[in-house]
Amino acid sequence: MPGSSFLVRPARTSDVPLIQALVEPLVQRRILLGKNLVVFYEAIQEFLVAEADDGSLIGCGALHVMWEDLGEVRTLAVADEYLRSGVGHALLDRLEEQALALGLSRLFCLTFETDFFARHGFTPISEEVITVDVYAELVRSSDEGVAEFLDLARVKPNTLGNTRMLKRL
């Protein structure tokens, strides 16, 4: 792993092409869902990035608010050569700090990386974790991540093999 020092910071619009390039190998391996550039730009304020000493982008992750007390960790990715170097942990820790600062008490993720998230206190869910009233509101969302959280039939191809996990903050 090149150098072990990195900085976690809020993403900037200039990072979007770098975020997409970082995520693309994971999309090709079917670990993450692909997103168009416009989606990254629309959500840039949700993203944090990890930047190596040389200025290269080596990781990213986003926090998306879904409801009053519920957020989702999205697009958590680390460059292959930086895996197991603490980059993913640092990003997730900062996303959790942001969630708490926003008043969230639960975080959701949809992932193949169950061991990583379990080490951070996430546990698999299968039962409904929201009330019927909240479900009725969330089902109105056009956001694919919300549909994946709700386990709607239309997103089943996206969720095959993934585990729905939740953490109480």
Q: Which domain holds residue 103?
A: 6-168
Residue 21 located in a structural domain: yes
Residue bearing the bigger pLDDT, 18 or 127: 18
- What's 23's domain CATH number? 3.40.630.30
Residue 1 located in a structural domain: no
Read off the pLDDT of residues 45-89 as tens digits, 9 standing for 90 and up. 999 999 999 999 999 999 999 999 999 999 999 999 999 999 999
Give the number of domains in the chain: 1
Read off the pLDDT of residues 102-154 as tens digits, 9 standing for 90 and up. 999 999 999 999 999 999 999 998 767 778 888 788 888 888 878 788 877 77
d(CA 24, CA 41): 16
Q: Using an 8 Å Cβ cutoff, are 114 and 76 in contact? A: no
Residue 51 located in a structural domain: yes
Residue 106 located in a structural domain: yes
- Element holding 44 (H helix, E strand): none
Residue 153 located in a structural domain: yes
What pLDDT, on a 0 to 100 scale, did the predictor assign at position 98? 98
